[in-house]
Amino acid sequence: GAHGRVFNFSAGPATLPVPVLEQTQSDLINYQGSGMSVMEMSHRGPEFTRIIEEAEADLRKLMEIPDNYKVLFLQGGASQQFSAIPFNLTQPEDTVDQAVTGSWSKKAAEEAGKYCKVNIAAKGDNKSVPDRSTWKLTPGARYLHYCDNETIQGVEFSGAPEVGDTLLVADMSSNFCSKPVDVSKYALIYAGAQKNIGPAGVVVVIVREDLVGKARADTPVTLDYKIMEGSLYNTPPCWSIYVCGLVFKHLLAAGGLSGVKANNDAKAKLVYDAIEASDGFYSSPVEPSVRSNMNIPFTIPSDAALEKEFLQEASKKNMVQLKGHRSVGGMRASVYNSMPLEGAQALADFMKDFQSRHCR
């Protein structure tokens, strides 16, 4: 491809749009005549103030975030939010409900358990989402936490689960900005940047403003949303925020999130169709109604040695980082926003070709 780039199917950190990378390249040494790199300038100076304000405004436009929500750009990754959320939204005696549908929601539930009482309201089998009618919500729970897209298992919700008056908290790390979302259904949405919107080092938190300012007294200062509001209490991840801002502009120019979703639907369909058309040569472990548009695990059930060969051949054809997560095995194709349609098409074509040469 352009610049000698490969099709990178990594689950994260993931591929970024080439026009964005080109822009960062020219800004790297001298940001728009400032004589400084974004990495070298004051986070309170006029250039960076404009960068962070525009990033927030563009994200608000992109996701149609209502005015009564705060947007924070923080450090510590999505994993740190596993603890920041209970610190900000609970007291030690409170109960929170957690839906566990894969590895990440399980980790989030374990971490929350250090700080408050946890009820596992739903427990999946890593291949499906338990029917909503079977979920056991706790009356008076502070919130229900779930993971909108399980990156490792490839299990994705098609919309916000219905939880009545319970506050809804969502980990959207691996499908953030991949589709339109009704933010008003949520108390809090968080997402590490490194899949769909930028480099590692920044996590976006979108939180309803009435929930900010109620952190428990012993909350570490950098986890307290009230103190971190404005994202400038301490030095923010300037470079990562700058790149995310460029990606937001790129997505807006590409037609916003409904256009992004249409493109993602088309890419995922190419790969799932190749699995389905293979007569069982390839297999997806995930129940069809919850198959992720972002992370597509698949195996070659007849012969695990063929999986190794598949990965080697794919890599020779410049399709890389297709190895499945160690807990699932096989392959995993991550087709985040910045994976071009041609990448998904190349993978689907290769899957058919590989099958025709190895099917017995």
Q: Which stretch binds ligand PLP (CB under 6 A): 76-84, 224-232, 239-247, 305-313?
A: 76-84
Q: Is 9 in the site for ligand PLP (CB under 6 A)?
A: no
Per-residue tokens: 144: 């229900």
Exposed, middle or buried by CB within 10 Å (0-12, 13-18, 19+), for 314? buried
Q: What angle do CA 185, 190, 191 make, to 5 degrees?
A: 130
Q: Which stretch binds ligand PLP (CB under 6 A): 29-37, 50-58, 166-174, 236-244?
A: 166-174
Closest CB to ligand PLP among 60 and 107?
Answer: 107
From 174, 178, 292, 321, residue interacting with ligand PLP (rule: CB under 6 A):
174
Question: If we measure between CA atoms, which residue out of 285, 270, 187, 204 comes closest to residue 243?
Answer: 204
To ligand PLP, the closest distance from the beta carbon of 139 in angstroms equals 28
To ligand PLP, the closest distance from the beta carbon of 173 in angstroms equals 4
H or E, element range at 59: helix 46-63
Contact 189, 61 (CB under 8 A): no
Catalytic-role residue among 70, 195, 267, 323: 195
Q: Which stretch binds ligand PLP (CB under 6 A): 44-52, 171-179, 301-309, 327-335?
A: 171-179
d(CA 69, CA 357): 54
Q: Is 336 in the site for ligand PLP (CB under 6 A)?
A: no
* Helix, coil or strand: residue 204: strand
Q: Is 147 in the site for ligand PLP (CB under 6 A)?
A: yes
Select the residue whose beta carbon is closest to ligand PLP and give its number.
77
Question: If we measure between CA atoms, which residue out of 37, 36, 38 comes closest to residue 48?
Answer: 38
From 7, 8, 9, 12, residue interacting with ligand PLP (rule: CB under 6 A):
12
Q: Is 303 a catalytic residue?
A: no
From 192, 236, 237, 285, residue interacting with ligand PLP (rule: CB under 6 A):
192
Closest CB to ligand PLP among 53 and 110?
Answer: 110
Question: If we measure between CA atoms, which residue out of 188, 200, 201, 193 comes closest to residue 89?
Answer: 188
* Residue recorded with tokens 């939880």: 163
Q: Is 79 in the site for ligand PLP (CB under 6 A)?
A: yes
Contact 347, 333 (CB under 8 A): yes
To ligand PLP, the closest distance from the beta carbon of 205 in angstroms equals 12
* Helix, coil or strand: residue 347: helix
To ligand PLP, the closest distance from the beta carbon of 88 in angstroms equals 17
Question: If we measure between CA atoms, which residue out of 9, 41, 58 comes closest to residue 319?
Answer: 9
DSSP strand pairing (95-100 vs 144-147) = parallel
Q: Is 78 in the site for ligand PLP (CB under 6 A)?
A: yes
User: Could you list the residues that contact ligand PLP (CB under 6 A)?
Assistant: 12, 77-79, 104, 147, 151, 171, 173-174, 192, 203
